[in-house]
Amino acid sequence: MGMLAGPALGAAHAEPDPRPQRRPGLEQVREQIARLHDEAESATEAYNAARERTRKQRAAVIRIAKQADTAQARLNRLTDTAGAMARAQYRQGGLPAEARLLLGDDPEGFLRDVSSVRKGQHAARGVISRLSSTKSELDRYAQSAAKEWRKLEANRRKKALAKKRITARIARAERLESRLAKAERERLRELEREAARARQARWLKSEAARKLVGSPAADASPGASAGTAGASPAAARAIAWATRQIGKDYQWGATGPATFDCSGLTMRAWQAAGKRIPRTSQEQWKRLTRVPVAAMRPGDLVIYKKDASHVGLYVGDGGLLHAPRTGRQIVVEGVGSMPILGVVRPDA
């Protein structure tokens, strides 16, 4: 009986796994953290785009409201005029013109007034026509305002969802990093730098890089002293302004003056140079003039990742000035340290 009962009792309680749980290596942790920050940056650009659209749609709603107010005031004046005409006609008894000619004491005077009567009739028809068109105009404004409000609410929801994604990804990345000992965190930073240098070294061997910066033996980790030879006057001003921001913190959704995200930095740099460019990296990629990677010059914007969710300012000699991600500061790194999507020139 005891022998038969043994297996049944054993089946009721799962045996512990004798194999020890393997802790992920630092390289795996680095890859996980990098992926989470990539996802947060994509969500940041979606947030920036939704916020920009919300701002524009709010302005559109205000503009439509002002136009509707003007039309309503015009409608009120026309309504008063039409009412005055109707009251005047009532005081005349509402008789047709032929009857007033036959029954009046002064037929000759009436005939002299025929021209004035006709002008009055034309004026009445004009008032009625303007009343009708103004009412139609007000209806169009109401429809436009309703449409813009729907768009506004949709973009508010998109912005809120993007913000939720950003905070969730950053929180997960910070939890992963917080579990590491101090020495491991220092080693993690070194792994990040090594990975960036390796990508830059590979990029320097490409044909585009050889045309751009010469020998692949060039420094794989350019510093902030990268030259600006070949930059336009406006590009030189943008680089000078951006260089003064080195060391400031990255903050998603920020456009300065104390903190920046990647596209907030490039937008402000070119604004300081006297050129307005779109707010987000996707719009910068979409709307600015594209140039070949091998032909980029200092001041051009380098767009990264398949979804165009990162951007930096090329400063010459293979260097990129950019705001990397949450927890990092504005810095100059190798332009090939991330996968390049393309290059755009704000002052083309």
Asked if residues 325 and 310 have their Cβ atoms less than 8 Å apart, the reply is no
Asked if residues 144 and 64 have their Cβ atoms less than 8 Å apart, the reply is yes
Asked if residues 280 and 171 have their Cβ atoms less than 8 Å apart, the reply is no
pLDDT value, residue 138: 81
* Average pLDDT, integer, range 86-105: 56
310 is catalytic: yes
* Average pLDDT, integer, range 30-55: 95
Q: Which of 13, 37, 122, 262 is catalytic?
A: 262
Q: Which of 13, 37, 122, 310 is catalytic?
A: 310
Q: Which of 13, 37, 122, 322 is catalytic?
A: 322
122 is catalytic: no
Taking Cα atoms as reference points, which of 82, 74, 85, 86 lies closest to residue 136?
A: 74
More confident residue, 184 or 13: 184
pLDDT value, residue 134: 81
Q: pLDDT tens digits for 158-186?
A: 999 999 999 999 999 999 999 999 999 99
The pTM of the full predicted model, rounded to 2 decimals, is 0.74
Cα(339)–Cα(214) distance, rounded to whole angstroms? 20
pLDDT value, residue 285: 98
Cα(271)–Cα(276) distance, rounded to whole angstroms? 5
Domains identified in the chain and CATH numbers: 26-176 (1.10.287), 214-345 (3.90.1720.10)
pLDDT-derived band at 23, boundaries 50, 70, 90: low
Does residue 218 register a pLDDT over 50? no
Residue entry with tokens 């996980």: 32
Q: What angle do CA 139, 145, 149 make, to 5 degrees?
A: 145
